[in-house]
Structure 1
Amino acid sequence: MASYVIRAIKDYPVGRNFLNIEILKTLPPPLNKQTSIAWTTGLLKGLVKSTKKYQNYIDEDGKTKRGMIYTIVKEVSPELLKKALKNIEKE
C-alpha cells in the first residue's frame, strides 16, 4: 500500500494539508476501501505529520465523517519514487 500512497502524494509540496480519504480515493481496488494509512512506518516514515486537528467530510454514502488533517513535511525524493514504482511493478 505504501508504494501506491507515495505515487499519489509525489507532487504534493511541503506544507500541503490533506485528509487520508483524499489519498485513499486515488488508490486502486481493494486498497481504496481502506480506512487508514500507516504514515509512521516503512517507505512513508518521515514524509507526513499529523496536525492533531480534524475536518469533517462527506463519504460516498452521504454520511458526515471526521478525518485527521495531515501535512507533508518532506517531499517524495526521486529515489523514493523510483523504489515505490519498482514495488508496484512487482505486484
Structure 2
Amino acid sequence: MSGEIVSAVHVEAYVGRVTVCAEAIAIGSALSDGHEGFETIVAVRHPHSDEQNQDLTVVSPCGMCRELISDYAPNCYVLLQIDGKIVKTTISELIPYKYSRV
C-alpha cells in the first residue's frame, strides 16, 4: 500500500467462534479495494464507555489473525505493546516456521 491507512472494528458475537477480529476485516477491506501488500498492522483496544480506565491499548493479534497476516502480508510488521512499550516486530517472528504453500 502507498501509505494509506485502513481502519476496521472488531465485531464481537455472543458465540465466540463467530467473532471477527478487526485485523481480518481490515485485510479483507483492503483486498476488496484492490490494495496489495501491507507495511504495518496494529490492533488497538478502545475501552467501553463504562470502564474506569479510558486508555487506548495496543493488543497482540490472535493466532488466527497471525496466520491471516502471514498469508496475505508475509513481510509485514506488527506493532505490539510489551511491558508498556510499543515494539515493532515482523509477522515471521510472531509465527515462526510458517508452513509453506507448495
TM-score normalized with structure 1 length? 0.35
| Bigger Cα Rg | 2
More helix by share: 1
Q: Which has the higher contact order (CA 8 A, sep 6+)?
A: 1
More strand by share: 1
TM-score normalized with structure 2 length? 0.32
